[in-house]
Amino acid sequence: MNNIKRNVYIILLAFFLVSLGLNSCKNLDFPSPNDPDISNLPSIQWMVSGAEAEMRNELEIYLRVVETFGRNAYYFETADPRYTGELLTGPIDAGGFLLNRHWNARYRVIKNGSLILENYSDDKGATGFANTIIGYQLLMLLNFTDENGVKIVFSRDINTPFVNKTDAFKEIERLLDAGFDDLNAAGDAFSFELSSGFADLSTPAEFAQFNRAIKARVLVLQSKYADALTALSGSFVDEAGDMNTGAYHVYSNGSGDQGNNMWEDPTAPTIKLYAHPSFKTEAEAGDTRFSSKVTERAEAASFNNLESNLAVTTVSDAYGKVPIIRNEELLLLRAEANIGLGNNAAAASDINAVRAAAGLAAVDVAAMSADDALSQLLHEKRYSLFMEGQRWVDMRHYGKLDDLPKDRAGDIVIDKMPRPETEVPGN
Amino acid sequence: MTKLIRLYSALFSVLLLFAVPAFAQDEIPEEVEISGNVVDENNEPLPGVNIQLKGTFIGTSTDIDGNFSFHVPFLEGAERTLSFSFVGYRTEEVSISSKSTGIEVVLYEDILRSSEIVVTGLATSVKRQNLANSVGTLDSKELLGAPTQSIESAMAGKMPGLVVSQNTGAPGGGVFVNLRGVSTIEGKTEPLYVVDGMIVNNSATQSGVDRITKAAGAGSSRPQGQPVNRIADLNPNDIENIEVLKGASAAAIYGSKASNGVIIITTKRGKAGATKINVSQKTGFSSILRKIGARKFTAETAEAYQAGGGDLFRKNGNIDYEDILYGETGLLSESSVSASGGDEATQFYISALRKNEDGIVKNTGYEKLSAKVNLSHRFSPRLKLDTYSSFINTEANRAITGNDNSGTTFGVAMAFTPGFVDLRPKNGIYPDGPGGSNPIHTRDALINRETVYRAMNSAKLTYNILRGSEQNLDFIFQGGFDYYSQYNKLYAPAELQFEKSASEPVTSIDGETRALNTTAYFNFVHSLALDNMVFNTTAGFQLENQRVDNLIVEAHGLPPGEANVDLGSTVTPYQFVDKKYDQGIFIQEEISLEDKIYLTFGMRADRSSSHGDVDKFYTYPKASGSIRLSEYDFWESLNDITNDFKLRLAWGQTGSSPPSNFKYSTFQTGNIGGKSGLKVNPAAGDPNIKPERTTELEFGFDAAFFDGLIGTEFSYYTQNIEDLILRSALPPSSGFSSFFTNAGDMTTSGIELSLISSPIKTSDFRWDTRVNFSKTQSEITKLNVDPFNKGGFATSLGTYRIEEGKSPTTIIGNDKDGNVVDLGDETPDFEIGFSNSLTFGNFNFSFLIHWKEGGDVINLGRFLTDLGKVSDDWEKVKVDVLDDNGNKIGETTPRLRGDFGTAPWIEDGTYIKLREASLTYNFDREMVNSMFNGALSSLNIGLSGRNLFVITDYSGYDPEVSNFGNVAIGRSVDVIPFPSSRSFYFNVSLGLN
């Protein structure tokens, strides 16, 4: 009897333990509990928004760098004297964050674009968006490295070669043209929504105008002025339009979004970003582009033997937008192309439209020499596109980097970024 | 022939599980009574001595008067021997062939603790005298020389090969424990903690303080919140003993979790008999261990420092901010009570603790509430259940220290505040500080609080399937869960300087972490005793599941005075889930030959959800042997010198599973304007990632010399770690920056030596001393990726270099010309722990000195105070700054001018610390009994202290520091942490009758 009771207990215990064991035996094969796997592509909307979001990432570092190179700005960062050292004296550290942050982020956008091209090849709106964005990101990279070139094959193999500037431009043009063709075949509406930064350019047809605007910038930088005029005619350039019509990076305080790291309260006790003193000395009286883009502080800040009291106010608030390309630049690109073609008269109306918007009187461009017209144009571009990353690129395009002011003994003007050491074998 | 068959069956005795009925009906022979008495060398009775009939499982233990009595089967003409063993005494053997009652035995003290029972497997143990590995043990007495906040600190300096180093002096802990040197680059650094048979969670979860300090911003993206690793929650008073399996050869049975060693903690249990109650109260205070000092200004130098500084100096003098911030005397209090007892069937141990410790900074401190119930119940002679339950609540107020990029932490703010600037509040108004914040204001207004609720419950069920005089088969189930929730609250109110200038003032951060560990072990243990041999076979399987879910909500722009995160204008949540399921099977065979030779063979096979191939079992074999040479006849001539000599040799493998997220390549959030977006995570995973594998060979000897005057334990080990998991760089043009992969090998070797002696042993004076020496070194032997820097902030500020042929803890930096050069190594030359216990009459005086020789530290605290021109030696070392034309344009130190490159920031971290000291008076038992009318059974009072002094040339607060918390590579970086403190206690402890 006792034995039977004991056996019952043992069987129950064994049964309990076996059940416990089986119950605790979990399936070991599960996806990441945190983020979607890269092989598990979500809808096109997620990829497009992700690309748009990443396009802003590290943009503030890029703009600080190129505007410092172009002697438009100083960045007084006590925690990191490289902004006022290395950028103005060289040599540039090929492993430093001033180069790598921008470089890495642009290629991450390209990765999103490549994933769209691989997985949504039937959606012409999607491929049109992706090709345009990839082309634009390559341009942002090439702006940085110039003659040092970029990689146009996006591979894990570090031996993948860099292409030179000419071939890089060729690839950018190819991508923009492919995107343009796709957009023209994409119908009336995208299968996804762009952010409010593209509110003016939200349909495939309008986005194609954005594509042509970027193409125009690319062509002007190659001095292909006639082609640039053609591209501009397909863009949203509008002499009578608002100077600020265009495409923007937008920011918000929404979850997972980011604020605009460039924003500083110009009245705060300490700020870091200042305009170069020449931005004031070379400004024309009454130029609203000067008065709206900087505020003169009562006390000048000095750091590392540099000094300025011009607080930058191009960003309106902690979530203020940053232009990608807008009508004002397109008008100036058209003027630039016309000047390049020796057609000063055609350039005059665009330049004066921009000047009128800035509260300035017209100038007689038609009567100017080619050199003077170009100088006038570069002056307008500097003030119109302040903190939009164009001045250094433009001065380099025209071989005028030596004209930029050097504030301290030993300062130099950097002409291009080195190839990041993470891209070159043997580092 | 019969013997051969029995030998065969022993070796494969797991098979016997299926043959149980054949053995279950052993005839029970006639029994005889055996009785006697056991005393020590001073003729005092010894209770609790274990007595066993050799070659059988029949035994008993002595009662409180040292008496014993039990029955053994009578076997005509058989040579029977009783073995008497007791922890701390040499085992004696007595033949009972001629005499069975009135056996008188004297046990002599054993310096090597040969009869101590040491765990060797998941369910088996062996006497230390047979052990083939160097296994360190600490009992409760050794552990509690002086009170401590966390159990790890109580182990420091007490065992060779065990390095305990605190990361920060902040209340609550944050301690690094390392066994036998570097074992990984990217993987887990902490040993496995097993408490009462259950793997407990020792994860360290960031508090979110980085979101205020922005420490993880520009220079290094690694978190620097200096979190508490949660083993700190345990109540040290509940611990009966700690066993430390230092290397792979001992820990192989824990498989792919054991590359960093295993720390096995056993908590106290009740014993049958009268209920014992212990009450103890400890009260004391703490103060800063060591100040770093600050520059002493004069009116002239103050004026040179800043215009108007001279006047400020004449008004304020040099204000000692260290004294204001770190000069508090923290009150310490610990009250504890425990009760234990029970009858033959049921025993209990219950305890409660309340600890309340104020920090050396106002508004900081640590509180712990702990309750524990351990129960044992024997349902029947064959079925026994042990349960272990504890509940713990801790709260730490940790203030805000360490690295920062926002001028918010005490140290960084002070580094930019010269002593002549007055930041002390007047009429409740705190002046703004030049360093980005007013640290006095921050101390008074900022909240950084961590609260933990933790429940640990486990059970052990032992069922005896078969018992005979020669063999025994048990089934043992062990399982349980360990759950904690950790709440972090960070609050920076609007009036603080750095919030005033923020775009959305007021930061409020709520963090919650829920962590659940569950383990279930199913073991069969079979023992077979033959004439001169004992076979122990263990087999079983384990299930171990872990899930940690961390949620942080960060809010900015709250109304003044409000902390509820939903009031913020910007609210950002973060979540990270760490989920890991492991399954293992193992088998182990232990063979003892005449108690002289002891052999072990074992194998564990593990699979885990964190491996690339989740179905593959990775196997970890082990083999070891020891021989007690002194037991053999040929040793007799040497007996005058050493009468106890054991050689041991052990080999084994363990693994280290990759962190659970290293195999995944994922997207990450990239939302814009209210639209959800995804972008690729630049750190790609390796879908084929596998565990790192450590192969260890250890050999050594244990010996007692000159009749037990001096004991020695010596071990040499060499570990080869293959398939090191590394973060390998990818060209960013691929869209990724790095990926995790198995891509390197490393060796670590070292020696460990302990000398133990009791030079004086008279009845009224006794001196016990112990010296532990250890030395370890590592080298990267193979690297399939390019050499890379790891840790630190930049090459110019000192960083670690991972390169073939180098020590993985090599510190590099720039020379004065900007070339990259080796500047030091974090690994110390050696460490020595020197402990002493002096007993004279009723007094006991004990102390522990810990000496770390060498081991470099990157002192960026000095760099910051140099930048702020407030270093204490500024006046002594200042040099002129010249412009290109040779004109003086300022002053600085040659350190900042780069005269020596990075070298001045790399400092020698040698220290000698008085870790623990105590003076105790134990009242005579009789006196206590009569004084309190029998109410008390024992009473002792005493003084104790921890970290009483430190001798070091290091210029920071404490060379024991880690800005990055518990990381394998890149620990010794000092960015002005919470200063270390010393503590004193007055203790009263009494036992109630």
| Beta bridge partners of residue B286, listed in sequence order | B330, B983
What is the C-alpha to C-alpha distance for residues B748 and B694, in angstroms, rounded to an integer? 10
Give the residue carrying structure tokens 């490159």: B901
Structure tokens at B261: 């060693």
Final residue belonging to a domain, choices B109, B130, B165: B109
What is the C-alpha to C-alpha distance for residues A105 and A101, in angstroms, rounded to an integer? 6
pLDDT-based confidence at B387, cuts 50/70/90? very high
Name the burial class of residue B127, with classes exposed (0-12), middle (13-18) and buried (19+) by CB atoms within 10 angstroms of its CB: buried
> Between these two residues, B746 and B118, which has the higher pLDDT value?
B746
Task: Judge whether B681 is closer than 8 Å to chain A, CB to CB.
Answer: yes
Which DSSP state fits B787? -
The range of the structural domain enclosing residue B289 comes to 153-480+491-992
What is the C-alpha to C-alpha distance for residues B393 and B372, in angstroms, rounded to an integer? 12
8 Å CB contact between B416 and B434: yes
8 Å CB contact between A363 and A373: no
8 Å CB contact between B611 and B580: no
Tell me the average pLDDT across A404-413.
Answer: 91
Residue of B nearest to A408 (CA): B884
Name the burial class of residue B985, with classes exposed (0-12), middle (13-18) and buried (19+) by CB atoms within 10 angstroms of its CB: buried
Domains and CATH numbers, chain A: 44-263+317-409+416-423 (1.25.40.390)
Cβ A38–B667 below 8 Å, yes or no? yes
Tell me the average pLDDT across A359-388.
Answer: 95
SS (H, E, C) B560-627: CCCCCHHHCCEEEEEEEEEEEEEEEEEEEEEEEECCCEEEEEEEEEEEECCCCCCCCCEEEEEEEEEE
Least confident of A73-87, A288-302, B47-61, B413-427: B47-61
> Residues B577, B642: one domain?
yes
8 Å CB contact between A359 and A286: yes
> Residues B40, B166: one domain?
no
Cβ B673–A151 below 8 Å, yes or no? no
| Residue B143 pLDDT | 85
Q: How far is CA A306 from the centre of its chain?
A: 27
Name the burial class of residue B432, with classes exposed (0-12), middle (13-18) and buried (19+) by CB atoms within 10 angstroms of its CB: middle
Neighbours of A392 (CB within 10 A): 24
What is the C-alpha to C-alpha distance for residues B670 and A294, in angstroms, rounded to an integer? 31
- E-state strands within A124-258: 246-249
Residue of A nearest to B554 (CA): A255
pLDDT exceeds cutoff 60 at B219: no
Q: In this structure, what are the phi and psi dihedrals at residue B841, rounded to the nearest 5 degrees?
A: 60, -125
Cβ B736–A156 below 8 Å, yes or no? yes
Give the residue carrying structure tokens 């004086």: B760
Domain count, chain B: 2
Cβ B731–A32 below 8 Å, yes or no? no
Cβ B614–A29 below 8 Å, yes or no? yes
pLDDT exceeds cutoff 70 at A266: yes
Task: Judge whether B669 is closer than 8 Å to chain A, CB to CB.
Answer: yes
Q: What string of DSSP letters covers B873-898?
A: THHHH-EEEE-TTS-EEEEE-HHHHT
All residues of chain A having their beta carbon less than 8 Å from the beta carbon of residue B735 are 107-108, 110-111, 114, 154
> Residues B49, B163: one domain?
no
All residues of chain B having their beta carbon less than 8 Å from the beta carbon of residue A114 are 735
Task: Judge whether B569 is closer than 8 Å to chain A, CB to CB.
Answer: yes
Structure tokens at A394: 């433009």
| Residue B816 pLDDT | 87
Q: In this structure, what are the phi and psi dihedrals at residue B178, rounded to the nearest 5 degrees?
A: -130, 140
B135-139 sheet: strands from edge to edge: B135-139, B239-245, B262-267, B192-195, B198-199
Nearest residue, CB atoms, A263 vs list B503, B518, B786: B503
Q: What is the CATH number of the domain that holds B553?
A: 2.40.170.20
Our CA-based measurement puts residue B664 at a distance from the nearest CA of chain A, in whole angstroms, of 6
ipTM of this predicted structure: 0.90
Cβ B609–A24 below 8 Å, yes or no? no
All residues of chain B having their beta carbon less than 8 Å from the beta carbon of residue A93 are none
Model pLDDT for residues B929-960, shown as the tens digit of each residue: 888 887 888 899 999 999 999 999 999 999 99
Nearest residue, CB atoms, A49 vs list B607, B677, B737: B677
| Residue B16 pLDDT | 38
All residues of chain B having their beta carbon less than 8 Å from the beta carbon of residue A427 are 786
All residues of chain B having their beta carbon less than 8 Å from the beta carbon of residue A263 are 503
Query: Does B136 fall in a domain?
Result: no
Q: In this structure, what are the phi and psi dihedrals at residue B29, rounded to the nearest 5 degrees?
A: -80, 175
What is the C-alpha to C-alpha distance for residues B870 and B859, in angstroms, rounded to an integer? 15
Least confident of A26-35, B445-454, B467-476, B637-646: B637-646
Rg (CA), chain A: 27
Query: Does B40 fall in a domain?
Result: yes
List all residues 6 or more positions away from A199 whose beta carbon is below 8 Å from its beta carbon. none
pLDDT exceeds cutoff 70 at B18: no
8 Å CB contact between A156 and B736: yes
> Residues B167, B67: one domain?
no
> Residues B96, B166: one domain?
no
- Backbone CA torsion sign across A353, A356, A360, A362: positive
Cβ B731–A20 below 8 Å, yes or no? no
8 Å CB contact between B433 and B420: no
Range 614-653 of B in CB contact (< 8 A) with A? 614-615
| Residue B13 pLDDT | 44
- Establish how many alpha carbons lie within 13 A of residue B138's alpha carbon, considering only the half-sphere containing its beta carbon: 28
List all residues 6 or more positions away from B768 whose beta carbon is below 8 Å from its beta carbon. B756, B757, B758, B836, B837
Structure tokens at B691: 């565990």
Residue of A nearest to B517 (CA): A24
Model pLDDT for residues A211-257, shown as the tens digit of each residue: 999 999 999 999 999 999 999 999 999 999 999 999 999 999 888 89
Query: Does B148 fall in a domain?
Result: no
Range 716-735 of B in CB contact (< 8 A) with A? 729-735
Tell me the average pLDDT across A272-300.
Answer: 95
Neighbours of A290 (CB within 10 A): 20
Q: What is the CATH number of the domain that holds B103?
A: 2.60.40.1120
8 Å CB contact between A61 and A105: no
8 Å CB contact between B433 and B237: no
> Residues B169, B306: one domain?
yes
Query: Does B636 fall in a domain?
Result: yes
- Could you give the C-alpha distances from B43 to B36, B38, B88, B104, in angstroms and in order? 14, 9, 16, 11
Query: Does B697 fall in a domain?
Result: yes
8 Å CB contact between A315 and A251: no
> Residues B183, B275: one domain?
yes
Report the mean per-residue pLDDT for chain A.
92
**Residue among A194, A291, A300 at smallest CA distance from A248:** A194
Which DSSP state fits B757? E
Structure tokens at B350: 């219950």
Query: Does B129 fall in a domain?
Result: no
Cβ A46–B676 below 8 Å, yes or no? yes
Tell me the average pLDDT across B682-687.
Answer: 92
Range 398-427 of B in CB contact (< 8 A) with A? 405
What is the C-alpha to C-alpha distance for residues B114 and B626, in angstroms, rounded to an integer? 13
8 Å CB contact between B170 and B401: yes
Cβ A154–B734 below 8 Å, yes or no? yes
Range 734-773 of B in CB contact (< 8 A) with A? 734-737
Phi-psi region of B831 (alpha: psi -120 to 50; beta: other; left: phi over 0): beta
Q: Which of A77, A153, A253, A260 would best serve as a mutation to test chain B binding (most B beta carbons within 10 A)? A: A253
Cβ B674–A108 below 8 Å, yes or no? no
> Residues B288, B409: one domain?
yes
Cβ A28–B581 below 8 Å, yes or no? yes
| Residue B381 pLDDT | 85
All residues of chain A having their beta carbon less than 8 Å from the beta carbon of residue B518 are 24
| Beta bridge partners of residue B920, listed in sequence order | B844, B942
Angle between helices A204-221 and A327-340 (to 10 degrees): 40
Neighbours of B41 (CB within 10 A): 11
What is the C-alpha to C-alpha distance for residues B232 and B150, in angstroms, rounded to an integer? 4
- Establish how many alpha carbons lie within 13 A of residue B347's alpha carbon, considering only the half-sphere containing its beta carbon: 17
Query: Does B120 fall in a domain?
Result: no
pLDDT-based confidence at B681, cuts 50/70/90? very high
What is the C-alpha to C-alpha distance for residues A34 and B681, in angstroms, rounded to an integer? 12
All residues of chain B having their beta carbon less than 8 Å from the beta carbon of residue A255 are 571-573, 671
Residue of B nearest to A159 (CA): B731
Cβ B786–A154 below 8 Å, yes or no? no
Angle between helices A225-233 and A204-221 (to 10 degrees): 170
Our CA-based measurement puts residue B862 at a distance from the nearest CA of chain A, in whole angstroms, of 15
Final residue belonging to a domain, choices B76, B109, B142: B109
Cβ B733–A48 below 8 Å, yes or no? no
What pTM was estimated for this model as a whole? 0.87
Task: Judge whether B275 is closer than 8 Å to chain A, CB to CB.
Answer: no
Query: Does B140 fall in a domain?
Result: no
Residue of A nearest to B664 (CA): A32
| Residue B23 pLDDT | 40
| Residue B427 pLDDT | 92
| Residue A421 pLDDT | 87
Our CA-based measurement puts residue A100 at a distance from the nearest CA of chain B, in whole angstroms, of 9
Cα angle at B774 between B146 and B135, to 5 degrees? 75
Residue type, B332: L
pLDDT-based confidence at B367, cuts 50/70/90? very high
Q: Which of A39, A60, A257, A272 would best serve as a mutation to test chain B binding (most B beta carbons within 10 A)? A: A257
All residues of chain A having their beta carbon less than 8 Å from the beta carbon of residue B732 are 100, 103-104, 107-108, 420, 422-423
Nearest residue, CB atoms, B786 vs list A37, A50, A427: A427
Our CA-based measurement puts residue A303 at a distance from the nearest CA of chain B, in whole angstroms, of 14
Model pLDDT for residues A142-195, shown as the tens digit of each residue: 999 999 999 999 999 999 999 999 999 999 999 999 999 999 999 999 999 999
Cβ A28–B614 below 8 Å, yes or no? yes
What is the C-alpha to C-alpha distance for residues A187 and A189, in angstroms, rounded to an integer? 6
Cβ B664–A265 below 8 Å, yes or no? no
| Beta bridge partners of residue B277, listed in sequence order | B339, B992
Range 9-68 of B in CB contact (< 8 A) with A? none
8 Å CB contact between A406 and A414: no
| Beta bridge partners of residue B85, listed in sequence order | B50
All residues of chain A having their beta carbon less than 8 Å from the beta carbon of residue B605 are none
> Residues B81, B193: one domain?
no
8 Å CB contact between B792 and B798: yes
SS (H, E, C) B419-455: CCCCCCCECCECCCCCCCCCHHHHHHHCEEEEEEEEE
Structure tokens at B884: 């290109």
